[in-house]
Amino acid sequence: MAPLLLGHRGSPRVHPENTLASFQAALDAGLDGVELDVRRLADGTLVIHHDEALQGGRALPGLKRAELPAAVPTLDDALAWAADTGAYVNVELKYEAARPDDRVGRTLDAVRAHGLTRRVILSSFNPLLLRAARELAPDIERGLLIHRTYRLGLMKAVPLDAVPLAMRLVDAAALHPHHTLVDAALMAQARRGGWRVNTWTVNEVADVQRLVALGADALIGDLPRSLLTAR
């Protein structure tokens, strides 16, 4: 089966990332959907933006919706677009502190309100956010993001791999590793654990072909043309 193909923040080489125009460009190019990032403003508005601050340096947690550039969509804007187009969406929750805040529950409520429970996977590098999501909406899938290996017990002869522990803690449906971490051993571990493997940021055709051969379930990248070679 061909992997799911998602635009990383849309199609960022064509339009500014994490904008509705960028999302639509990814879909128009033939991808199945997009990956996007959710942050919270001072007034509680949930918006789509990767970095904690705007290009000019203003930090998002200190801003209100009226102070944002018009191109920055709200979460509701993005989910309404997905509902209209049929796009699959990987919603990544960003965070400024380790403990969950109201963005977890409110993001899940928005997903349900737009009828996207089966077309969204909620992802984060923070297991505590995913654990909170599991308690609030167990029916919406979760994916654990990792960018390196995680080992416990550095003084032991055989350090314990922390990833399966975290996956069980949050009851994740998928592991979301950086593409350089994906090899036959990781894929075998995922199959034993019953996890899908959704990998990022895959921009080179050679990496697409390698990951397809390994059986990756979803590829997330900046370049639709490269991703489409998976088919």
Confidence of residue 151 (pLDDT cuts 50, 70, 90): confident
18: phi > 0 → left, psi -120 to 50 → alpha, else beta; which?
left
At residue 174, the 3 state secondary structure works out as strand
Radius of gyration (C-alpha) of the chain in whole angstroms: 17
pLDDT of res. 92: 98
Report the 10 Å Cβ neighbour count for 139.
8
Q: What is the pLDDT of residues 77-117, one digit of tens each?
A: 999 999 999 999 999 999 988 899 999 999 999 999 999 99
**Those residues with Cβ within 8 angstroms of residue 209's Cβ, 6 or more apart along the chain or in another chain:** 229, 230
Averaged pLDDT score across all residues of the chain: 95
pLDDT of res. 97: 87
Report d(CA 43, CA 93) in Å as an integer: 17
Q: What is the pLDDT of residues 170-193, one digit of tens each?
A: 999 999 999 999 999 999 999 999
- 219-229: average pLDDT: 98
Checking DSSP bridges between strand 88-93 and strand 196-199, what pairing results, if any? unpaired
**What own/partner pairs with CB < 8 Å and gap ≥ 24 does 18-21 have?**
18/48, 18/49, 18/50, 18/72, 18/73, 19/48, 19/71, 19/72, 19/73, 20/73, 20/77, 20/78, 20/81, 21/71
Cα–Cα distances in angstroms (integers) from residue 56 to residues 38, 60, 67, in the given order: 19, 11, 12
